[in-house]
Amino acid sequence: MARVRLHVELLDLSQNALAVIYAACRQCYSSGFSGQIFKEGINNAKNQEEFVKQIVSSGHESPLEHVKFTFAIEGVSRTLTHQLVRHRVASYSQQSQRYVKASDFDYIIPPSIEADKEMKKIYLNTMQEIQKSYNCLLSALGEKGKKGEVANQDARFVLPQASETKIVVTMNCRELMHFFKDRCCTRAQWEIRALAEDMLKICKEKLPAVFNNSGAKCVALGYCPEGIKFTCKRYPLKEEVLGGAKYAKTKESG
Ligand SMILES: Cc1cc2nc3c(=O)[nH]c(=O)nc-3n(C[C@H](O)[C@H](O)[C@H](O)COP(=O)(O)OP(=O)(O)OC[C@H]3O[C@@H](n4cnc5c(N)ncnc54)[C@H](O)[C@@H]3O)c2cc1C
């Protein structure tokens, strides 16, 4: 058993990503054919970039669905992947706890627990106890004739949410932008936020025309919609930006 950390790699990105988005955007406004627009535009990256940037900032997002990113992710907890797979406009392939035995499982430690000697001790002891229980159950199930995935699928019920898992995720650019809006926000849980930040960094490197202004929802909005209780104060509150006179009046009277 070992403590492990987040690791993200880009496995694949749609070929000619920018040219495909460009052709799809232009098709909407052109009497010509996107096949021709694609061929003509393929060697004019500068022109494509400017056009795609404008389209993205105008909120015309459906052409972004034609380009996909596939990420390989490891060193994350089942807590994280439980949140990740709530994003439905995506494809996932996750390491199975039925087919992969966890007789030496790795785990994630929350930084707040790692930073405290006492809490860390409790945490590591718990991991070891769980490992012992899992291994005992596995051999007891084996004695009753249950082997392989049939034993694993029942023994895994004692595994913690801290268990490390590996997952492959594919999202199109529109879904990625949506994912970053929610999960790069400081309100998101720390582990999925760290993943979102790493994925965003890769997306910005590979496709800046689409992702340069991507991030937490406040980045695109220019204000924080989370309200006074939850704001991280990076941006002014929504009512401060949009409320105008009404907000000023409330402040005066309050
Ligand atoms: C800070 C934070 C706290 C959270 N806390 C909780 C919690 O306590 N409990 C909990 O259960 N979840 C919680 N969630 C998860 C959240 O409710 C969403 O399930 C998750 O973020 C996926 O978002 P989504 O549905 O917008 O995304 P996706 O599933 O990726 O969908 C993308 C977009 O497609 C559209 N869409 C997709 N499916 C449908 C559909 N069936 N009908 C109509 N439109 C659709 C919507 O516009 C949606 O925004 C939390 C999320 C965050 C970021």
Same domain, 213 and 232: no
Spell out the residues 6+ positions from residue 118 whose beta carbon is closer than 8 angstroms to its own.
none
Does residue 183 have an active-site annotation? yes
- Measuring from atom 5 of ligand 1, which residue has the nearest CA? 188
Same domain, 144 and 178: no
- Measuring from atom 42 of ligand 1, which residue has the nearest CA? 88
Residue 209 lies in a domain: yes
* Residue 24 burial by Cβ neighbours in a 10 Å radius (0-12, 13-18, 19+): buried
- Measuring from atom 37 of ligand 1, which residue has the nearest CA? 88
- Six-digit token string for 126: 């718990």
**Entry pTM:** 0.93
Mean pLDDT of 24-33: 92
Run of H or E residues at 191: helix 190-206
- Quote the ligand 1 centre to 86 CA distance (angstroms): 6
Residue 80 lies in a domain: no
Mean pLDDT of 77-103: 98
Full domain range(s) for residue 244: 222-254
Q: What domain count does the chain have?
A: 3
Residue 59 lies in a domain: yes
Give the phi and the psi of residue 110 in degrees, each rounded to 5: -60, 140
User: Which of 83-87, 120-124, 148-152, 227-231 has the weakest average pLDDT?
Assistant: 227-231
- Quote the ligand 1 centre to 189 CA distance (angstroms): 14
Same domain, 187 and 138: no
Same domain, 144 and 180: no
Determine whether the shortest distance from the Cβ of 178 to ligand 1 is under 6 A.
Answer: yes
pLDDT in tens, 201-241: 999 999 999 999 999 999 989 999 999 999 999 999 998 88
Q: Catalytic pick from 78, 156, 174, 183?
A: 183
Same domain, 12 and 137: no
- Quote the ligand 1 centre to 191 CA distance (angstroms): 17
Same domain, 157 and 140: yes
Residue written as token pair 């695109």: 220
Residue 57 lies in a domain: yes
Residue 148 lies in a domain: yes
CA torsion, ordered 55, 56, 62, 66, to nearest 10 deg: 100
Same domain, 18 and 70: yes
Count of beta carbons in the 10 Å neighbourhood of residue 23: 24
Closest approach atom of ligand 1 to CA 182: 53
Task: Among 61, 169, 171, 178, say which to mutate for ligand 1: greatest number of ligand atoms within 8 Å of CB.
Answer: 178
Separation of alpha carbons 115 and 120, rounded Å = 7
DSSP string, 22-66: HHHHHHHH-SS-HHHHHHHHTT-HHHHHHHHHHHHHHT--GGGGG
The side-by-side arrangement of strands in the sheet containing 7-13 is: 7-13, 68-77, 164-172, 90-94
Residue 236 lies in a domain: yes
